[in-house]
């Protein structure tokens, strides 16, 4: 995804997703010395590491460029409101609080003058840093820019997308919130997703009650297929009540969010019927065989080998 689009967000340009490019990890000579399987694995590992580093660097560059040439000011956190479009579920920020306490806030947040409240501000991105500053009872460093509602959500969504802070269900909830007032083109730009991806997200939110999502939590590591599977299970009669009852138990609440998701899916899935097949034993008790399949004979038919059919007697 081109960072140029986000840096031009004030002019209203929309960013569209592009496919990530990977580059070989080893030189041609080194690659020739590796087996095909090893070479492929090294390429995948190297590509993943490079892409993650590049992603983090791009997110830092976004914020550096937005702050470049702008005045970074310190604002009392009590004067700042969150974005009108919630994009994340409550999560742990202990690590961030410790980092800011020990090293200070290294990167400013982006805010705009509040459109409805004189003297107040509204966050475009940097909600976690704002929360950390609030917990530390210190002002937050911020860049103030004039942004329309559309520009704010595009900046908010793209910055989060680069940092991979939002989980799949958080992005889906964010998309559902945005569709109340923005076109799908704006939502696709904000989340850097294609039309089909957006359709899946909105479908999951529509078919999965907010109560269930809230009880599960953000579920990092759980992707589209798993959420679609859960939505399919919840469509069956009585499953909503069963899921809610399970998620309210102490055992479920004690699990981390991702494990809680997997547990409720396993709880809702039909269980295989217990085997009633017999075990043949010798007179001394030794196990001779276990019946794996039972065949019901039809009177007047001859038993043939497996995969054949019975032939009626003349």
pLDDT tens, residue by residue, 47-88: 666 766 666 665 565 555 555 546 788 899 999 988 777 666
pLDDT of residue 239: 95
Evaluate whether residue 250 is within a structural domain.
no
Confidence class for position 226, pLDDT limits 50, 70, 90: very high
Q: How far apart are the first and last CA of the chain?
A: 75
- Spell out the residues 6+ positions from residue 218 whose beta carbon is closer than 8 angstroms to its own: 88, 89, 91, 167, 169, 170, 257
C-alpha gyration radius of the chain: 28
Residue 108, pLDDT above cutoff 90 = no
Residue 41, pLDDT above cutoff 80 = no
Give the count of domains, the chain. 1
Tell me the CA distances in angstroms from 220 to 89, 194, 211, 257, 269, one per residue in order: 11, 21, 18, 7, 21
Confidence class for position 45, pLDDT limits 50, 70, 90: low
Residue 215, pLDDT above cutoff 90 = yes
Evaluate whether residue 100 is within a structural domain.
yes
The rounded mean pLDDT for the chain is: 75
Evaluate whether residue 252 is within a structural domain.
no
Specify the range with the lowest mean pLDDT, choosing from 9-23, 52-66, 150-164, 185-199. 9-23
pLDDT of residue 237: 92
pLDDT of residue 260: 94
What average pLDDT does range 201-223 have in this prediction? Answer: 93
Evaluate whether residue 288 is within a structural domain.
no
Distance CA 59, CA 248 (A): 38
Tell which wins on pLDDT, 41 or 265.
Answer: 265
What average pLDDT does range 260-270 have in this prediction? Answer: 93
Confidence class for position 136, pLDDT limits 50, 70, 90: very high
Instruction: Indicate which CATH number applies to the domain containing 199.
Output: 3.90.1530.10
Evaluate whether residue 109 is within a structural domain.
yes
Q: Residue 120 sits in which domain range?
A: 3-207
Specify the range with the lowest mean pLDDT, choosing from 96-100, 140-144, 268-272. 268-272
Reading across the β-sheet that carries 80-81, which strands appear in turn?
A: 72-75, 140-144, 109-113, 121-125, 80-81
Evaluate whether residue 180 is within a structural domain.
yes
pLDDT of residue 302: 54
Tell which wins on pLDDT, 273 or 95.
Answer: 95
Residue 1, pLDDT above cutoff 70 = no
Evaluate whether residue 71 is within a structural domain.
yes
Evaluate whether residue 154 is within a structural domain.
yes
Confidence class for position 187, pLDDT limits 50, 70, 90: confident
């Amino acid at each position: 995804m081109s960072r140029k689009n986000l840096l031009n967000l004030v002019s209203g340009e929309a960013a569209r997703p592009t496919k990530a490019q990977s580059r070989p990890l080893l030189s041609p000579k080194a690659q020739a010395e590796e087996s095909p399987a090893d070479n492929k694995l090294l390429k995948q590992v190297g590509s993943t590491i490079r892409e993650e580093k590049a992603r983090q660097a791009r997110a830092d560059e976004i914020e550096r460029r937005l702050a470049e040439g702008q005045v970074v000011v310190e604002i009392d956190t009590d004067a700042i409101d969150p974005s009108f479009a919630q994009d994340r579920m409550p999560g742990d920020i202990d690590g961030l609080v410790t980092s800011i306490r020990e090293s200070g806030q290294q990167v400013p947040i982006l805010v705009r003058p509040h459109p409805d409240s004189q003297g107040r501000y509204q966050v475009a991105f940097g909600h976690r840093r704002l929360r950390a500053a609030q917990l530390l009872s210190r002002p937050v460093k911020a860049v103030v820019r004039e942004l329309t509602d559309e520009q704010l959500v595009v900046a908010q969504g793209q910055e989060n997308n680069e940092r991979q802070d939002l989980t799949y269900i958080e992005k889906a909830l964010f998309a559902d919130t945005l569709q109340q007032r923005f076109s799908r083109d704006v939502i696709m730009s904000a989340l850097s997703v294609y039309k089909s991806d957006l359709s899946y997200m909105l479908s999951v939110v529509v078919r999965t009650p907010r109560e269930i999502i809230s009880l599960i939590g953000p579920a990092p590591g759980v992707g589209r297929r798993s959420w679609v599977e859960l939505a399919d299970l919840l469509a069956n009669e009585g499953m909503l009540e069963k899921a809610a009852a399970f998620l309210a138990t102490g055992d479920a609440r004690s699990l981390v969010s991702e494990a809680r998701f997997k547990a409720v899916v396993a709880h809702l899935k039909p269980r295989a019927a217990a085997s009633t097949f017999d075990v043949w034993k010798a007179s001394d008790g030794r196990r001779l065989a276990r019946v794996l399949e039972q065949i019901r004979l039809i009177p007047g038919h001859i038993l043939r080998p497996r995969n054949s059919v019975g032939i009626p007697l003349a």
